[in-house]
Amino acid sequence: MGIKVKVKEQQLNSFLKLTCIIGISDGPNMKCVTDQFNVNDLVSVRLNFACNGMGSPLVCSILSWNLKTDDECKVKVKVSCQETDIPFYSEWVCDKKWKRIGERLSSDTILDDVYINVININITTCKVEESRLTKIYNDVDFTDFNLSAVDGSVAIHRTFLAAHSDVFRAMLRNEWKEANEGCVQIEGVTRQTLQHLKDYMYLRTLPDEGLEPLLLLASYYLMDDLKEQCVSKLALNCTLKDWSRLLEFAAVNKISELISGLMLTTQPTAVQKQKGKDLEDKQ
């Protein structure tokens, strides 16, 4: 037998979840490559499983390639897997090289001398904006609006605000006080969060920390694309330890997309195991 793999696909919003059931036993073929899977019509991926023999770790890797024919269209791939020996999360610009997702030593169960592993791999993708926007991002001479927080402000172009948010577009198009003053005061955020907002508008980048307040801004100002990317990164990068906290945050702020993302990328049974372990540690 060697290695045999069965994969179940599940699509939710921008997420592609691949539930892989891997059977391992002594045999001549200790490698298995899956079929191709389409992710958001941007990237095609396939998985590679390998094992040096019974008792050796199961190794999982991913191969991705850009489906877009335009050479200038770059695509970022985001992958997470919480069920390897070391939980995995990574982002990279799509290429045609293998990326190791991780290793796993123990099996979930053993049936008739076949070692069964169940691994959930979560994948999402997004386009990378053209680099010429960097010049506009760095411009200080032609910015014509300010986003203000209690600890400072961020200069920005009205055009970018209007292009990313219908709420800002309405504000700037009509005779609102903020439009006339060239500034809007945003309550409950820091200057750093506003800088993160600008970074995404111009460069399509997200911070490693501070995603929750950025997600709230995206929800309030109806920035669906930013909201989707924040949800994606929070869910994909969520550890079992943070799962309950993020779920409560999503429920309190009525962000159903994040609730769905957390339920998809992290198994509730695994969360219960983590809670049990935390209680044991406290005792």
Query: What is d(CA 169, CA 137) in angstroms, rounded to the nearest whole number?
Result: 19
- On whether residue 153 sits in a domain, the answer given is yes
- On whether residue 226 sits in a domain, the answer given is no
Q: Based on the fold, state whether residues 74 and 190 are members of the same structural domain.
A: no
Looking at the DSSP bridge assignments, the partners of residue 63 are: 46, 98
Distances (CA, A) of 1 to 90, 111, 233: 32, 13, 37
Q: What is the DSSP letter of 52?
A: S
pTM of the model: 0.68
Q: What is the DSSP letter of 238?
A: -
Distances (CA, A) of 37 to 54, 62, 71, 182, 237: 28, 11, 21, 47, 21
Other C-beta atoms lying within 10 Å of the C-beta of residue 275: 14
Cβ–Cβ < 8 Å for 119, 17: no
Specify whether the backbone of 210 is left (phi greater than 0), alpha (psi in -120 to 50) or beta. left
Give me the CATH number covering residue 54: 2.60.210
Give the chain's domain count: 3
Query: What is d(CA 247, CA 226) in angstroms, rounded to the nearest whole number?
Result: 19
- On whether residue 264 sits in a domain, the answer given is yes
Q: Based on the fold, state whether residues 91 and 23 are members of the same structural domain.
A: yes
pLDDT value, residue 268: 53
Give me the CATH number covering residue 193: 3.30.710.10
pLDDT value, residue 79: 93
Looking at the DSSP bridge assignments, the partners of residue 114 are: 111
- On whether residue 188 sits in a domain, the answer given is yes
pLDDT value, residue 72: 64
Of 128, 150, 170, which residue constitutes the final position of a domain?
Answer: 128
Tokens encoding 185: 């005061």
DSSP alpha helices (H): ranges in the chain? 133-137, 158-164, 166-173, 177-181, 191-203, 211-220, 224-236, 240-252, 256-265, 268-282
Q: What is the mean pLDDT of each run of 10 residues along the chain (283 residues)?
A: 90 89 86 93 93 88 86 83 87 85 89 91 83 78 93 94 94 87 93 96 90 96 94 89 92 94 69 48 46
Cβ–Cβ < 8 Å for 183, 145: yes
pLDDT value, residue 141: 87
Tokens encoding 281: 């540690």
Q: Which domain holds residue 252?
A: 236-278
Of 128, 148, 166, which residue constitutes the final position of a domain?
Answer: 128
| Residue 79, amino acid | V
Query: What is d(CA 152, CA 267) in angstroms, rounded to the nearest whole number?
Result: 41
Of 128, 151, 172, which residue constitutes the final position of a domain?
Answer: 128
- On whether residue 229 sits in a domain, the answer given is no
pLDDT value, residue 138: 85
- On whether residue 76 sits in a domain, the answer given is yes
